[in-house]
């Protein structure tokens, strides 16, 4: 159990180390923070914090730096997150106003987050497994290409191109549409996928039958994609610019960004606190191969469930500021989705 004064000293060390990138000594704490005690008392507190493995000495006669355990204690005892400025809030509102669709909204979300924080921004798609298909449309682009359009009650619109081995005309496409519409429209994503699987018959050989099979396959693949967890990310270049902030290689982080699966698992495993914030710091991420990084996240609400907005960067990050940015963006994202649902 860390005493109140030692917690103040820890906060001072974390804050100054994040701001200056330099180890923090007792003299600097006395000069920059009004703790009402002498440098000797602070040195004693620092020695006890070091015994508790909350701070560490990088080399003899240097100041101290926070450990991963120290950052965890700092985050767990945050009294408040730093509020965003009016200009930052205005930037969020301006960036996220009037998106074309959900894909556009989430792409804008990660761009504004990385611009506000200088970290890698992550946004989970809400799961569409419980969505209902409300519309399917087939557009004949040319005799061998059909655009398949699906719309769900959550507002998601997806498009997939079906390439046909034999030419068809508009009447053929209308016949295919008449066959597939009852199989998917008005059904949940899972039920629609099952219905399509039961209807697929590879024994047919006419051009229209083959076209129907290919369209069914395209719709089934799109419905399967609806059920997949997905991430949108931006700001990977910030890792290269801040490589010195990491104690080791940034390659595992770049690989995780490229593959997504690891980050999806990690973000799903993070437990939120009473304020809806979730953090995973340094070595807590070692099971995912990301022991060099920290992730902070806040939850947003969609019609079909909750998902997370997050930031990934070095353990030496400004946690109050990044949590505030994630929360502000998540709050606005929830509002935009609620307004879209009410239309």
Q: Where in the chain is the domain with CATH 3.30.450.40?
A: 86-127+229-342
pLDDT in tens for each of the 343 residues of the chain? 568 889 999 999 999 999 999 999 999 999 999 888 999 999 999 999 999 999 998 876 678 999 999 999 999 998 778 788 899 999 999 999 888 888 899 999 999 999 999 999 999 988 777 788 999 999 999 999 999 999 988 777 889 999 999 999 999 999 999 999 999 999 988 888 888 888 765 555 788 888 999 999 999 888 887 777 789 999 999 988 888 888 888 999 999 998 888 999 999 889 988 888 999 999 999 999 999 999 999 999 887 778 899 999 999 999 999 999 999 999 999 998 887 666 5
Cβ contacts of 16 within 8 Å, gap of 6 or more: 22, 24, 28, 29, 32
Paired tokens of 160 = 């997939």
Which pLDDT does position 174 carry in this prediction? Answer: 95
For the domain made up of 86-127+229-342, give the CATH fold.
Beta-Lactamase (3.30.450)
Give the CA diameter of the chain: 90
3-state secondary structure 211-257: HHHHHHHHHHHHHHHHCCCCEEEECCHHHHHCHHHCCCCCHHHHHHH
Choose among 73, 60, 7: nearest CA to 281: 73
Contact 120, 238 (CB under 8 A): yes
Contact 163, 145 (CB under 8 A): yes
pLDDT tens-digit map of 271-290: 988 888 999 999 999 999 99
Cα–Cα distance for residue pair 50/56, rounded to 1 Å: 6
Which pLDDT does position 7 carry in this prediction? Answer: 93
CATH of the domain spanning 4-76, picked from 2.30.110.10, 3.40.1030.10, 1.10.10.10, 3.50.50.60: 1.10.10.10
Contact 35, 44 (CB under 8 A): no
| C-beta atoms surrounding 13 within 10 Å | 29
Residues facing residue 305 across a β-bridge: 302
Cα–Cα distance for residue pair 31/19, rounded to 1 Å: 15
For the domain made up of 133-226, give the CATH fold.
Enolase-like; domain 1 (3.30.390)
Hey, is 68 helix, strand or coil? Answer: helix
Which pLDDT does position 43 carry in this prediction? Answer: 92
DSSP conformation letters of 98-145 = S-SSHHHHHHHHHHHHHHHHSSEEEEEPPP-TT-BEEEEEEEEEETTE
Chain centre to alpha carbon of residue 182:
36
Which pLDDT does position 128 carry in this prediction? Answer: 72
Cβ contacts of 236 within 8 Å, gap of 6 or more: 120, 254, 257
Cβ contacts of 178 within 8 Å, gap of 6 or more: none
Cα–Cα distance for residue pair 105/302, rounded to 1 Å: 12
Cβ contacts of 144 within 8 Å, gap of 6 or more: 163, 164, 165, 166, 167, 168
Alpha helices in the chain (DSSP H): 4-20, 26-32, 39-51, 68-76, 86-96, 102-117, 170-184, 189-199, 207-226, 237-241, 251-259, 261-269, 319-342
Paired tokens of 45 = 């507190």
Cα–Cα distance for residue pair 106/299, rounded to 1 Å: 14
């Amino acid at each position: 159990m860390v005493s109140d004064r030692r917690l103040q000293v820890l906060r001072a060390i974390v804050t100054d180390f994040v701001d200056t990138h330099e180890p923090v000594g007792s003299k600097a704490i006395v000069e920059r923070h009004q703790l009402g005690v002498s440098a000797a008392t602070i040195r004693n507190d620092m020695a006890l914090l070091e015994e508790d493995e909350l701070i560490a000495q990088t080399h003899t006669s240097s100041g101290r730096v926070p450990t991963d355990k120290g950052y965890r204690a700092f985050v767990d005892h945050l009294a408040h997150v730093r509020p965003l400025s009016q200009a930052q809030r205005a930037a969020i509102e301006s960036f996220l106003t009037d998106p074309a669709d959900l894909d556009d909204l989430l792409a804008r979300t990660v761009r504004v987050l990385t611009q506000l924080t200088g970290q890698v921004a992550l946004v989970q798609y809400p799961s569409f497994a419980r969505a209902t298909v409300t519309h399917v449309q087939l557009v004949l682009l040319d005799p061998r290409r059909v655009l398949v359009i699906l719309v769900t009650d959550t507002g998601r619109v997806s498009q997939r191109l079906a390439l046909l081995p034999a030419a068809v005309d508009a009447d053929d496409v209308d016949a295919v549409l008449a066959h597939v519409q009852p199989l998917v429209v008005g059904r949940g994503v899972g039920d629609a996928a099952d219905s399509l699987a039961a209807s697929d018959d590879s024994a047919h050989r006419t051009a229209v039958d083959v076209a129907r099979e290919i369209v069914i396959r395209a719709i089934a693949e799109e419905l399967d994609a609806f059920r997949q967890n997905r991430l949108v990310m931006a700001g990977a270049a910030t890792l290269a610019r801040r490589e010195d902030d990491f104690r080791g290689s940034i390659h595992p982080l770049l690989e995780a960004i490229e593959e997504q699966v690891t980050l999806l698992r990690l973000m799903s495993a993070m437990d939120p606190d009473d304020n809806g914030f979730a953090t995973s710091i340094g070595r807590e991420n070692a099971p995912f191969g990301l022991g060099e990084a920290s992730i902070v996240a806040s939850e947003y609400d969609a019609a079909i469930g909750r998902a997370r907005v997050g930031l990934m960067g070095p353990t030496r990050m400004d946690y109050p500021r990044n949590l505030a940015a994630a929360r502000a963006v998540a709050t606005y994202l929830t509002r935009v989705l609620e307004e879209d649902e009410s239309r």
